[in-house]
Structure 1
Amino acid sequence: MKLKEFIRECHQKEVFKNLSIYVVTGWVLIQVFSEIREPFALPKISLTYLLLVLIAGFPFYAYLLWRYRLKPEEQDSERSNHMELDRRNDPSEEEKGHPGQKKHLPGIRFYSPFQKMYFGFLFAILMLSGISVAWIVQANFISEPDIRAFTFPVEEKNDKVAVLSFDNNTMDPDLDVVGKMAVDWIIHGITSNGVAQVISPAVLEQYTTVSQASVISNNDNDILTKYLKPGKVIAGNYYLNDGQLLIQCSIQNGEMNETLETIEPVSCDPASPISCIEQLKQRLLSALLDKDENYTVYEETPPNYEAYKLMLGADEFSNTAPEFLDIMNRAIAIDSNYFEPQMHRITYYYNIDKFATADSLIQELMHADLKNSRQKNLMRLWHAIIRGDNKKAFTYQKKEYDIEPDDLNNNSSTMVLALQFINRPEAVDSIYNTQLAMDKIDSLNCQTCEYRFFSKGMADIAMGKPEKPIEMFGDYGNVKEFYWVKDVLLYAYVRTGNLEEIERILNTVKLTGDEETWREKCLLAAKQLLLKGEKALAHAYLDQIQESIVKQPADLAKEEKELLAYSHFYKGEYVPGGKLFQQLSQEDSDNVDFRAFWAMSLQGNGKSEEAEKTVAGLEDLRADYQYGAIDYAKARYYAFKGDSDLVIQHLIRAVAAGKRYNPGTFGDDVLLQPYKDLEGFRNVLTFWH
C-alpha cells in the first residue's frame, strides 16, 4: 500500500480524528492542570509527571484504537477474505506442509496492507514516545537529582526578622544614641545566635533612599511589608518616667497588622543605658526562640557608651579617610575590648594597601579570646583574604551573606568574591537574583547598585551571554559617569559586534567626563577588539589616544605617559613603547607591570638577552602581599615570547598566591589569548572550584 492510499484510508476510518481527540484532550488537561496546580499546592514536578503519562499513553491509545475500532471494521469488510486469521495454538499438519507458507506465533495474524502500514507507524510512534520520555526523565530526574522536586511543598518558613528604629519619646535629642544602640544590640544578638536573618534599619534606609517614588511609596512600612517581606517585625520606643529610662518593644507579624508578643519593659538610669539594653535583648531573644536562657552577642558585653557614640560618627567619612581611622583609634582607646572598631581598623589599612599592618591587626585578633561564632567567622574571612586563600574567603563571606542577604553592601561584596576571587560567574547570578526588589530601585541614585550591576554584567559575559547586560543596562551608555557599567557595555558590545554603540559610549564619556577617563575607555575598547581579532578597529582607538596627547615626553604626567606607552605596545610599536615603559619603571621602581611590559618591548625589538635580564629583575621585586603579581607578569612575558609551558606554570603560581580573576586578566587578557584552549589554562580558571 502506498502512503497516499494509507492516508486516504485513515481519513475514511477517522483514525486522524480519533488521534486528534487524544492530543487536544491532553493539551487541555495540561492547561487546566497548570492553572489549578498552585491553588491545590501541588509541586511543580507534578506537571512533568502528567506530561510523561500523556506521552507514554499515546502509543497505547493508538493500539486500543486499532483493537476496538479498526479491527472489527476490518473483519467485517470485504478485505477480510484476504486475511489469514488463526487463533489455534496448534496448527494442523496440512497447514504445516504447505510449501512457502509463512509460519507465525500462536495468536492473531494479519496480513492486510493497511494493517501492516498502521502497525509500522504505531512502532514509529512508540519509539518517538520512548525517546521523549527518556529525554524528559534525564533532564528532570537524573541531571538534577534534587529530592525536593519529588515532594509536595511545605509552607516555606520565613525566618527574616526586621528590627525597626526605636522611637525616642524622651524629647531629649541627646538620647537618640540609646535607640541606635538598642537596635544594634538586638541585631547582634539575633545574628550571633543564629536566630534569624535580619533586616536592619540601615538596610531599610538603603531601599528607601534609592526607591523609585513612582513605583514604591517612600513610606518605610510599605517597602518593608511589600518588598522585603520579613516574617516578624520588632518595633520599640523609650521614654522617661520619674527620672528613669524605660525601653519597651513588641514583636509584630510580617504585615505589621498584628502584635504577636509584647516584651516586658526595662528601666535604668538614663546616664547608663547599657544595662537595660542588655536586659531587653535577653528578653527579646527568649521570646523569639520561646526559651528562657541567656544568649551571646556580637560583643561579649555591651561596649562603653562613649565609645559607641564615637562610632556613630564614623559614617560621615569614607573608610579610607584619616578621620575614619582617628575615630576607630579613639573608640578603641576608650574600650579596648570593643570588637567593631578593631575590625573596621583592619578594613582601613587593607583598603589603602597597607597589607602588613592589616595582617598584624588580624593576627592580634585571631589570637584574642573571641567569644562567638560571628566574630570568629569575620576574622577567618580577613585572614583568608590577607593570605590570598580565595576559596576560604568566599566560604566565610557566604556565611556573612546568609546572615544579612538583604543588605546591598553585603550582597555586592559576595558577588565580587564569587566572580573575582573564585571565578564562579554562575554563583553571581543566583546572588543577584535574590534581590527581588531591585527592579523597583532608582539605580541612578544607588552607588552600591552600580557595583552589583558590574558584577552581574561581567558574570553574564563570562558565561557567554553578552546580550543580557545590554538588555539590562544599555541605557547607562547615555548617562553621565557610571563608568563601571559602561565598561560592562563596552565588553558586551565588542562581543556582539555593535561598533556603533561602542562609538556612542566613548563619545558620551568624552563629552561628559574628563579626557583621561575617555583615554582609558578607548584603551579598554581597543584591547577587547584585539581579542576579537579586529586589529584595524583596535588601532583606530589607539591612534586616538596618541593623537590626544600632544605634549613633549618630558612634560607628560605619569597617567598620560602610561596610556601612551600601552597604546604603542598594543599597536606593536615596541621602540617608543619600550622607551616609555623604561622611564615609567625608573620613576616607579616597584611597579611590576611597567617592568614586565618593558621586557616584552625589548623582546619585540629583538633584544632577547636584554629582555631576559629585565624580566629576571622581577624577582628582586618579589615581596609579601603581592597576590601573584610577579608570576602573572612573568606569564605574560612568556606568552609574548611563545613559551606555553612557562605560561601555564606561572599562571598556576599566580592564582595559587591569590591572583584575582579581574576583568582584563586571564581569559580576557590579549597576551594570553593564544593559550586559552589549553587544558592547563582551563585548570587555572577552575583552580578554586
Structure 2
Amino acid sequence: MKLKKFIDECRDNDVFKNLSIYIVSSWVLLQVVALIAPPLGLPDISLSYLLILILVGFPLYIFLFWHYVLRNKVNKRPVLDQNGAVIPGKFKSSRFQKLYFVFLGVISLATMGIVTLVIGNKFKSQTQLPVFVESNKIAVLNFDNNTGNANNDVIGKMATDWVLHGITQNKVGQVISPKVVDDYTSIMKASVVPSGKNDILKQYLKPSKVISGSYYINQDKLLMQCSIMDGSMSKTLISFEVTECDANAPLECIESLKQNILGYFLSKDESQIGVEETPPNFKAYQLWLEADANLGQPNYLNLIDQAIAADSNYFKPKMDKILHYYNHDDFEVADSLINILSKQIGTNKMQMNILNHLEACLRGNNKMAYKTYKEVYNAAPMDKELNSSAMVLALQFVNRPQDLDSIFDVMDMSNIDLDNCIQCEYRYFIKGMGDIELGKAEETVALLKPFARTRGLEWIKRALLKAYVKMGDTASTREVLDYVKLMNESEYWEQSILQTGVEFLMVNNEPEAHYYFDTLLDHYSSKGDALRRDQKTRQAAIFFYKENYPMVEKLYQKLEVDGPLSKEELAFYATALHKNGKQKMAQLKIEVLNGMKSKYDFGNVDYSLAQFYAITGDSDKAMSNLLKAVAAGKRFTNSTFQNDPIFRDYHQMETFQNILRFWY
C-alpha cells in the first residue's frame, strides 16, 4: 500500500481526528493542571508526572483505537488452505494494518525517547544537591554622617574610599563602589519595609556582602561603627566594636576600621576563626600568616610576638606561642604562658576548651586532653590539622583505636597530594596503626600498599612494614626496605631496619629479627669509628635486643663518656649491668634514672624503670611502674606498652590489660 493511500484510509476512518482529540485534550489538561497546581499546593513535579502519563498513554491510545474501532472496519483478507478453500475464522493482516502498526511502533519509540529525556532532565536534577556559588562582590555603602555637621561628610567619603582601597589592594573581592551603590542606599534603609525594592539590589548588583556604617562625634572624640550584612540583607554577619579616636584625626579611626574589615574577610575561612571573640586586626593576621609559613624557622617566634603586639586580643598567635614551647619540650614556659592567657580570656567556650586541653596535656591528664580537644575538633572536623591531631589523641593519648574510623572517614583522601600535606600522611599512618591494633593488618596493607614505592612518606611505610610483619609476609617486608635503600634514604633505612627487627621479636620470629639486626650491625661495622651518636645508640640497642649484655655494657660505657644517657639508655645500661652480675652498679644507674623525674616527665622515668624490672624478673615492680607511667601521661606509640617487646610476656596479665584501658 502506498503512503498516500494509507493516509487517505486513516482520514476516512477518523484516525487523525481521534488522535487530534487526544493531543488537544492532553494539552488543555496540562495547562489546567499548571494553573491550579499552586493554589492546590501540588508539588512542581506533578506536572512532570502528568506529562509522562500522557506520553505513555499516546501509543496505548493508538493501539486501543485499532482494537476497538478499526479492526472491524478494515477489510479482512481470508486465509486459504492448500486447495484454495477459505479457512473459517482466520484472516491475513491487511496492508493497512501492517502500516498502521509500523506507525504505532515509530510513535512508541519516539514517546519512549521523550519520556527518557523528561526523566533524565527533571528527576535527576531533583536528586542532586544544588551547588551554590557565592559571589565575591562586596558592596560598600556611604557611611552615614550623624554628627549634624555637613562639613563632616568628607569623613564618610574618606572611610568608604579607604575600605574600598583595602579590599581591592588585598584582592578580597570585586568591589561595588559608592558611585554605584548610592542609588540604592535608600533601598537599603527601607529594607525593614516590605516594599520589594530590595529585589533590585539583589537581582542586578548581587553582592555577597554589604558593608555599611555611620559616625558621630561625642565631645572631642570621633566614634565610628560598622557592620557587614549578607547579600540578601536579611542577616547581619558581624557588627564591629565602635572605633574611637580624636575628632581631629579621623584617619586613625578609618585605618583601624579598615584593618578590622580586612581581618574579617581574610580570616573568616580559617578553621580557628571560631576561637576569636572578634576578627583579628589585619596587620596582626598578616604577621600570623607569615609566621605560619615560617614554622620551624628561626624567625618564627619573633613573627608570632609581632602578631600578638599588633593585636593584643588575637588568640591564635598566643596559642601558637604556647604550642611552640610545648613542642620544643620547654614545658615550664608553656605552662607559664597558659596561666597568663587563662586570666586574659573571658567566657569564650572554644578558647576555654583549647586552654583546658593544653593544660591537660601539661598535666599528663590524657583523658581530659582528648575530651577537650574533641570539642575543638567537632567545630571543624574537616580541617586537616584538627582532624590529624584528633586521631593522634585517640590512638596515642587514650589508646582508643576504635575511635579512628569515624574521624578518618570525615575527609575524602582520594585527590590529596601527600607530598604537600604532612598531616594527611600522618592520618594514614595513625589509621594504619589503629587497624593493626584492632587485628586488621590486612586492611592496613590495603590502605597503604599503593604508597609502598613512593619516595618519602616515611610514616606510611612504617605502618606498612609493621602490618607486613604482623601478617608474616617477609617477602613484602624486604621489598619495601630494599626500595627505601635504593632511594638512598639511609637514615630512615637504618631506623626501619632496627624497628623491623623489633617487630619480628614482637611476633616471636627471632630468626627474622636477628637477620635485620645483623644486617644493620654489618652496615655499621663497615663504617668503622665514623659512627654518629644516633648510630651508636642504635648499635647498642641491637645488642640489647640480641641479649648480648657484655657488648651492651661496653657500648653504653663509651656513650656515657660522650654525654649524658637518655632515660631509655640508662634503663638498658642498668639492665645490662644487672645481667652481667654487677647489681650495685646497676642500682647506681637506677638511682640516676630516678633522679631524672620532673614535673613534666609524663611518665618516661617510670616507664624506663618498668622496662628494667620487667627484664630483671620483678613483675610486680614492673607493672607498678608501668601503671605510674600511664597515669602520668606516657603515650601509647608504635614502640611502647603493647608494642614494646620487653613486655610481650605480660600481655595476657589482667594488670597489663587494665593499664591499656586506663583512660577509658
Using the size of structure 1 for normalisation, the TM-score is 0.60
1:661 to 596, 620, 636: 636
C-alpha distance in 2, partners of 1:561/1:242? Answer: 74
State the match for 2:356 in structure 1: 380
2:598 to 601, 608, 623: 623
2:511 to 536, 558, 569: 536
State the match for 1:279 in structure 2: 227
The answer to whether the Cα contact below 8 Å between 2:331 and 2:600 also exists between their aligned partners in 1 is yes
Matches within 5 A, 1:253-292: 265-267=210-212, 279-280=227-228, 287=235
**Offset, 1:176:** 6.0
The answer to whether the Cα contact below 8 Å between 2:136 and 2:207 also exists between their aligned partners in 1 is no
Helix, strand or coil for the counterpart of 1:265? strand
State the match for 1:451 in structure 2: 426
C-alpha distance in 2, partners of 1:606/1:491? Answer: 35
Helix, strand or coil for the counterpart of 2:211? strand
Aligned partner of 2:383: which letter? D
Q: How many residues align?
A: 458
2:458 to 457, 462, 483: 483
Helix, strand or coil for the counterpart of 1:341? helix
Helix, strand or coil for the counterpart of 1:280? strand
Give the number of the structure whose alpha-carbon radius of gyration is greater: 2
State the match for 1:313 in structure 2: 290
C-alpha distance in 2, partners of 1:244/1:586? Answer: 77
Q: 1:278 to 1:587 in 2, by over 3 A?
A: farther
C-alpha distance in 2, partners of 1:517/1:554? Answer: 21
Helix, strand or coil for the counterpart of 2:633? coil
| 1:379-438 per-position Cα deviation (integer Å, ceiling 9, x unaligned) | 111111111111111111111111111112211110110000000000011211222x22
The answer to whether the Cα contact below 8 Å between 1:618 and 1:630 also exists between their aligned partners in 2 is yes
State the match for 2:397 in structure 1: 421
Q: 1:590 to 1:540 in 2, by over 3 A?
A: closer
The answer to whether the Cα contact below 8 Å between 2:211 and 2:227 also exists between their aligned partners in 1 is yes
Using the size of structure 2 for normalisation, the TM-score is 0.63
**Offset, 1:282:** 9.4
Aligned partner of 1:287: which letter? K
C-alpha RMSD over aligned residues: 3.8
Helix, strand or coil for the counterpart of 1:673? helix
Q: 1:426 to 1:285 in 2, by over 3 A?
A: farther
Aligned partner of 1:482: which letter? L
State the match for 2:534 in structure 1: 559
Aligned partner of 1:266: which letter? I
C-alpha distance in 2, partners of 1:163/1:627? Answer: 49
Q: 1:177 to 1:643 in 2, by over 3 A?
A: farther
Q: 1:682 to 1:297 in 2, by over 3 A?
A: closer
Q: 1:244 to 1:638 in 2, by over 3 A?
A: farther
Matches within 5 A, 1:50-449: 166=136, 175=167, 237-241=174-178, 265-267=210-212, 279-280=227-228, 287=235, 298-318=275-295, 320-435=296-411, 437-443=412-418, 445-449=420-424
Aligned partner of 2:384: which letter? L
2:443 to 468, 475, 488: 468
Q: 1:237 to 1:682 in 2, by over 3 A?
A: farther
Matches within 5 A, 1:509-528: 509-528=484-503
Q: 1:382 to 1:620 in 2, by over 3 A?
A: same
C-alpha distance in 1, partners of 2:346/2:135? Answer: 28
C-alpha distance in 1, partners of 2:312/2:420? Answer: 38
| 1:116-165 per-position Cα deviation (integer Å, ceiling 9, x unaligned) | xxxxxxxxxxxxxxxxxxxxxxxxxxxxxxxxxxxxxxxxxx9xx99979
Helix, strand or coil for the counterpart of 1:621? coil
State the match for 1:573 in structure 2: 548
C-alpha distance in 1, partners of 2:528/2:572? Answer: 18
**Offset, 1:328:** 0.9
C-alpha distance in 2, partners of 1:538/1:425? Answer: 27
C-alpha distance in 1, partners of 2:279/2:403? Answer: 37
Q: For structure 1, which segment, 161-170 or 641-650, has the greater mean C-alpha deviation from structure 2 after superposition?
A: 161-170
Pair 1:670 & 2:645 matched: yes
The answer to whether the Cα contact below 8 Å between 1:457 and 1:488 also exists between their aligned partners in 2 is yes
C-alpha distance in 1, partners of 2:446/2:312? Answer: 51
The answer to whether the Cα contact below 8 Å between 1:346 and 1:361 also exists between their aligned partners in 2 is yes
C-alpha distance in 1, partners of 2:133/2:583? Answer: 66
The answer to whether the Cα contact below 8 Å between 1:522 and 1:542 also exists between their aligned partners in 2 is yes
Helix, strand or coil for the counterpart of 1:368? coil
The answer to whether the Cα contact below 8 Å between 1:461 and 1:492 also exists between their aligned partners in 2 is yes
**Offset, 1:486:** 0.7
**More relative contact order, 1 or 2 (CA 8 Å, 6+ apart):** 1
**Offset, 1:617:** 1.6
The answer to whether the Cα contact below 8 Å between 1:454 and 1:484 also exists between their aligned partners in 2 is yes
**Offset, 1:239:** 4.4
C-alpha distance in 1, partners of 2:437/2:444? Answer: 11
Q: Alignment identity in percent?
A: 35
C-alpha distance in 1, partners of 2:233/2:361? Answer: 33
The answer to whether the Cα contact below 8 Å between 2:209 and 2:229 also exists between their aligned partners in 1 is no
Aligned partner of 2:286: which letter? K
State the match for 1:87 in structure 2: none
| 1:14-64 per-position Cα deviation (integer Å, ceiling 9, x unaligned) | xxxxxxxxxxxxxxxxxxxxxxxxxxxxxxxxxxxxxxxxxxxxxxxxxxx
Aligned partner of 2:211: which letter? V
C-alpha distance in 2, partners of 1:176/1:617? Answer: 64
State the match for 2:29 in structure 1: none
Helix, strand or coil for the counterpart of 1:549? helix
Helix, strand or coil for the counterpart of 1:384? helix
Helix, strand or coil for the counterpart of 2:455? coil
Q: 1:679 to 1:237 in 2, by over 3 A?
A: farther
For structure 2, list consecutive stretches of 5 or more residues without a partner in the other structure: 1-128, 140-160, 189-202, 215-222, 243-272
Q: For structure 1, which segment, 583-592 or 516-525, has the greater mean C-alpha deviation from structure 2 after superposition?
A: 583-592
For structure 1, list consecutive stretches of 5 or more residues without a partner in the other structure: 1-157, 181-235, 249-257, 270-274
State the match for 1:684 in structure 2: 659
| 1:213-243 per-position Cα deviation (integer Å, ceiling 9, x unaligned) | xxxxxxxxxxxxxxxxxxxxxxx75444369
C-alpha distance in 2, partners of 1:627/1:165? Answer: 51
Q: 1:565 to 1:373 in 2, by over 3 A?
A: same
The answer to whether the Cα contact below 8 Å between 1:388 and 1:658 also exists between their aligned partners in 2 is yes
The answer to whether the Cα contact below 8 Å between 2:230 and 2:237 also exists between their aligned partners in 1 is no
**Offset, 1:174:** 5.8
The answer to whether the Cα contact below 8 Å between 1:179 and 1:238 also exists between their aligned partners in 2 is no
The answer to whether the Cα contact below 8 Å between 1:168 and 1:239 also exists between their aligned partners in 2 is yes
C-alpha distance in 1, partners of 2:232/2:321? Answer: 31
Q: 1:177 to 1:316 in 2, by over 3 A?
A: farther
Q: 1:282 to 1:262 in 2, by over 3 A?
A: closer
Pair 1:649 & 2:594 matched: no
C-alpha distance in 2, partners of 1:535/1:383? Answer: 43
C-alpha distance in 2, partners of 1:264/1:499? Answer: 61
Q: 1:322 to 1:494 in 2, by over 3 A?
A: same
Aligned partner of 2:594: which letter? E
State the match for 2:576 in structure 1: 601
Aligned partner of 1:317: which letter? N
C-alpha distance in 1, partners of 2:512/2:475? Answer: 12
State the match for 2:69 in structure 1: none
